Chains A and B, each alone.
Chain A
């Protein structure tokens, strides 16, 4: 005969996972995403479609956006994407300076996010300006075929 105290372990113990902390963490993540990620109005640049391509991360490249002008006959709009995701309209010289600054920081790649309907000459103009800097590799931004 063993005098044994009941250890309190219930063989039919409930093994359900309490979902309340999980829901709390999910809410925290959602709140963080709301304040850290800016909601954009979608891609304003109609990039050309390409089946093949390589991925380039944003943090190692300088992104230059080239959009159609507001009015026909005008020069296309050049924009640079800042670290916070904002786009700032710049001139061609500023683009060169920005590329030079990125090159100094180690960002050797330049991505041209150009609209597909833009003339090839305008693209080549920007490309030629960027190509004046040594050590820069030029990438044409494309999108997946739908």
Chain B
């Protein structure tokens, strides 16, 4: 619920001094008297779209065109002649304001928003810096004026307040008391005539006294593109808490009184002195730092804005099915081309019948004793019994290996001479071959005398 603000602290500045904000140059000129202001208006150094407020105060900026006492200059006819250029005539504005209540609902419904005038400021208890919130969007004053009332709201006895957020209208209380007048609309710093016209049409009531739901609010904002966006917003449940918060924030943000300098020229305003930029996304609850951050982010977004379609991000995929097929084909090829059968064999010297008889046959001029000097004689009988150097041993591989190794070490003979009977089984002879292979000993064979088919004697 919007309550009336307490009376502001007395200002040390004269009442006829004004601070003027030049909308075209974005500069603030301070300490102008009313006469100086009127003269500047006449000389076109100050336009009707420029903003003004009492010097040394933090009241919301008001368009000079909305201040009749400043606009009523000797050069007023010039301003009226220039109405075609887009300047707003105060008379026409008065008429518009007079007509607007007609379109507006009954006196019980909220009226248009009017900025406070200098005379009103003298009579009314203007809010102090500690009372006013940081936001400067005004809310229409319900029942403050009617169609018969002029533009000025001199008849209003209750002090006007500058609401902080439009979509937070007052709630209904049990004790039926007239709701406080909402603060006036925030004058927008406009440059073009079109924007000025829109500003005139933006004045919409935000509080409906006799509506079924007084919590319903209408928010009108201008987006950056100059389009009017009307949004209906339902306030939060704790409206009273919001008002308390707003009041607390306003008290917490009490700033030092501004130093009024002589109007030697225009002074570049600081960020806190400039009126807030009207934006659809304006969030008056933000801190200045956060506002700057938001602006930077918006600027970054605008820079990165593009309608070009980004390259399709292809994800590298590897289809394994063809690779498996190729692997199978390779396996098949090598199966067909490669030989898969490998025999395990023991290489033996081929018994050459043309070899020296003293090596091949027994009983030749070279005796066995002579052969025994060069070879390790291994004799195998028909039953499979094995003798090494006429010493019988067990027909086992380990025993043969040990005996052959010792014979080689003792005598230095490195070749084994195998003498087997014709009837000896083939596997017994292979056993000796295996033993010789294990100790890496060469093999020599003797052809049995019965090989030629002659019976053994």
Point out residues on A near B: beta carbons under 8 Å: 1-5, 7, 9, 17-18, 21-22, 25-26, 28-29, 32-33, 36, 48-59, 61, 63, 111, 113-121, 123-125, 127-128, 130-132, 136-144
Q: Quick one: given A7-B313, A29-B328, A116-B427, are A138 and B321 in contact (CB under 8 Å)?
A: no
Bound complex: CA A146 to CA B320 (Å): 42
Residues on A with C-beta less than 8 A from B344 are 50, 53-55, 141-144
Which of B83-91, B104-112, B183-191, B432-440 forms contacts with chain A?
B432-440
Residue from A29, A58, A115, A139 in contact with B347 in the complex, judged by beta carbons closer than 8 Å: A139
- B341 to A57, Cβ gap below 8 A? yes
Surface stretch bound by A, among B150-158, B248-256, B284-292, B303-311: B303-311
By the criterion of a CB under 8 Å from any partner CB, how many residues of chain B are at the interface? 56
Residue from the list B328, B332, B353, B420 in contact with A128, Cβ < 8 A: B353
Do the beta carbons of B343 and A138 come within 8 Å of each other? no
Q: Is the interface of A mostly helix, strand, loop or mixed?
A: mixed
Give the chain B neighbours of A116 by CB distance below 8 A.
425-427, 430
A residues near B434, Cβ cutoff 8 Å? 50-52, 142
- Using CB atoms, name the residue of chain B closest to A37: B340
Q: Tell whether, in the assembled complex, residue A142 and residue B426 are in contact, meaning their CB atoms are under 8 Å apart.
A: no
B346 contacts which of A57, A123, A142 (Cβ < 8 Å)?
A142
B236 CB, nearest partner CB in chain A, Å: 30
Whether B433 and A120, one on each chain, are in contact in the complex, defined by CB atoms closer than 8 angstroms, is: no
Contact B350 A2 (CB under 8 A): no
Q: How far is A49 from B306 in the complex, measured between Cα atoms in Å? A: 84
Produce 1/0 per residue, B299-332, CB < 8 A to A: 0000001111110111100001100110010011
B448 touches A121 (CB 8 A): yes
What DSSP secondary structure best describes chain B's contact surface? mixed
**Contact between B341 and A139 (Cβ–Cβ < 8 Å)?**
no
CA distance A127 to B423 in the complex (A): 16
Cα distance A64–B348 in the bound complex, in angstroms: 15
Give B residues with C-beta under 8 Å from A: 305-310, 312-315, 320-321, 324-325, 328, 331-332, 335-336, 339, 341-353, 380, 397, 420-431, 433-434, 437-438, 445, 447-448, 450-451
Contact B309 A4 (CB under 8 A): yes
Please name the residue on chain B nearest to A17 by beta carbon.
B320
B315 touches A50 (CB 8 A): no
- Can you show 16 pairs from A to B with CB atoms below 8 A apart? A2-B308, A17-B324, A25-B324, A29-B332, A32-B335, A48-B430, A55-B343, A56-B342, A117-B426, A120-B448, A121-B448, A127-B350, A138-B347, A139-B348, A142-B430, A142-B434
Whether B341 pairs with A130 at a CB distance below 8 angstroms is no
